Amino acid sequence: MGILALLVLGLLAGLVAKLILPGNDPGGIIVTMVIGVVGAFIGGLLASALGFGGLSGFDLRTFVIAVIGSLLLLILYRSLERPRRGRRRRYHRRRLI
């Protein structure tokens, strides 16, 4: 699989993983894209280690492997991400005139 196809597959897998596990993640779409690409790579490594075969082409099996890898990485990212201390909420004051 070429680099460009892996990037497109990872972007789509990251999008599907975000749709399956919605939430308020810091970083927005950039972090989702990175998680998708890295998750597709990790999913391919895990699938070939378990004997299912790696990311061979752009088909349904490869896409499912990439989505599973992206889901695993998104869950790991959320478990490692801690709430930041010292963060203040902004309150808007209403003017009473």
Q: pTM for the full model? A: 0.73
Question: Which residues contact residue 65 at a Cβ distance below 8 angstroms, ignoring those fewer than 6 apart?
Answer: 40, 43, 44, 46, 47, 52, 55
* Mean pLDDT of successive 10-residue stretches along the chain, which has 97 residues: 79 86 74 83 84 75 86 85 58 61
The pLDDT value given to residue 47: 83
pLDDT at 21: 80
Q: Which amino acid is at 35?
A: I
Model pLDDT, residue 94: 65
| Residue in this structure with the two tokens 């499912």, named with its chain if needed | 64
Residue 59 per-residue DSSP state = S
Q: Which tokens in the block code for residue 39?
A: 């998750």
**Domain residue ranges of the chain, discontinuous segments joined by +:** 3-79
